[in-house]
């Protein structure tokens, strides 16, 4: 039984308990990161679905306009060049549609892999839709940073690892102290044959001893000092990792808040642009049918509408992802 070890055993136990907390915090952080990755792919898929719908709508609109152009050509009110220009734009939209559908298929595969259903043949069905998130006021950076340092699992894990390493340094220092321990044994003695026992001693009996032992490290050849320097070097490395993590957390928090502001402004801008682009397309189509506009103006208006729709849905997805990113940066559990 160790009576005195200079705090070596106590610090070793403390370090082990802190390392257990470190592992728990890292597990929590790993779960949060996984949820964010799933959320990121999820919102990207929703935006991609709307992009495909916009392309399909533009393709359908151009096909209907092509029919009208063919009728105008039959009436000698349009030229074959107009039809060729529309067909070229239709071919471009078709190849874009194929590309975007392929991207969507890859995104579904990534989502299936993250969910762990990549090998069982199940098909993931998403019935949700993108929604506009109203962010009334972006929180203050310092308040968010304080919350992040309080909640983030990776920061708590790094801090627990630092405390555990400090306890390891104390345990290494304790090796310089003498060790006092109590030792005791108790058992039975059997000596059946006369030659195996002293004269006057029974054939069997109880035997026991007790003693106090002191182990003084007089000369260790520098082993203890080397162990202390090693643990101190690990402590310095742990302190630097914690400092770097603090800087990284600040960067992630600031980036997430800036992304929220930027995405929110993009959503508000592109939402108005869509209605304006629709009206421009309608006017250009009527002008062309009345012989007062060119097919180039119609195609440009149609392209502008498609671009506005795609920008809006991308901005909407980016806003949802930015909010999820902010929650991840402060260590809040995502839903």
pTM: 0.79
99-122 burial, b at 16+ Cβ within 10 Å, e below that, comes to ebeeebeebbebbbebeeeeeeee
- Token output for 292: 């007062």
Give the model's confidence band at 291: pLDDT under 50 very low, under 70 low, under 90 confident, else very high. Answer: confident
Average pLDDT, the chain: 87
Task: With a cut of 90, say whether residue 75 has pLDDT above it.
Answer: no
What span, in angstroms and rounded, lies between the C-alpha atoms of 21 and 305?
Answer: 54
Q: How many CB atoms lie within 10 A of CB 27?
A: 12
What span, in angstroms and rounded, lies between the C-alpha atoms of 322 and 317?
Answer: 9
SS3 183: strand
Instruction: Tell me 138's DSSP state.
Output: P
The pLDDT of residue 190 is 64
The pLDDT of residue 141 is 83
The pLDDT of residue 191 is 55
Task: With a cut of 90, say whether residue 194 has pLDDT above it.
Answer: no
Q: Which superfamily does 7-178+224-329 belong to?
A: Outer membrane efflux proteins (OEP) (1.20.1600.10)
Would you call 245 exposed, middle or buried from its count of C-beta atoms within 10 A (0-12, 13-18, 19+)?
A: middle
For residues 252 and 197, the model is more confident at 252
């Amino acid at each position: 039984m160790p009576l005195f070890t200079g705090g070596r055993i106590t610090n070793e136990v403390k370090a082990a308990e802190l390392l257990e907390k470190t592992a728990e915090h890292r597990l929590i952080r790993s779960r949060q990161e996984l949820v964010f990755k799933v959320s990121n792919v999820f919102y990207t898929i929703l935006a991609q679905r709307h992009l495909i719908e916009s392309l399909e709508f533009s393709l359908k609109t151009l096909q209907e306009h092509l029919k009208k152009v063919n009728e105008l050509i039959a009436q000698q009110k349009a030229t074959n060049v107009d039809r060729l220009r529309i067909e070229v734009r239709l071919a471009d939209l078709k190849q874009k549609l194929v590309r975007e559908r392929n991207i969507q298929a890859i995104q579904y595969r990534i989502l299936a892999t993250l969910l762990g259903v990549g090998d069982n043949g199940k098909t993931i069905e998403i019935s949700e839709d993108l929604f506009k998130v109203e962010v009334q006021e972006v929180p203050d950076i310092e308040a968010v940073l304080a919350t992040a340092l309080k909640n983030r699992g990776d920061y708590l894990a790094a801090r627990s690892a630092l405390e555990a390493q400090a306890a390891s340094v104390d345990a290494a220092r304790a090796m310089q102290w003498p060790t006092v321990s109590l030792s005791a044994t108790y058992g039975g003695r059997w000596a059946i044959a006369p030659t195996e026992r002293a004269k006057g001693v029974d054939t069997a009996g109880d035997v026991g001893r007790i003693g106090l032992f002191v182990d003084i490290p007089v000369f260790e050849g520098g082993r203890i000092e080397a162990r202390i320097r090693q643990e101190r070097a690990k402590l310095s490395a742990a302190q630097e990792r914690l400092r770097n993590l603090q800087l990284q957390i600040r960067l992630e928090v600031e980036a997430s808040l800036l992304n929220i502001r930027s995405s929110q402004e993009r959503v508000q801008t592109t939402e108005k642009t869509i209605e304006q682009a629709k009206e421009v397309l309608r006017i250009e189509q009527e002008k062309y049918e009345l012989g007062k506009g060119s097919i180039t103006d119609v195609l440009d208006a149609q392209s502008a509408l498609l671009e506005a729709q795609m920008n809006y849905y991308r901005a909407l997805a980016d806003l949802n992802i930015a909010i999820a990113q902010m929650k991840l940066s402060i260590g809040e559990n995502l839903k």
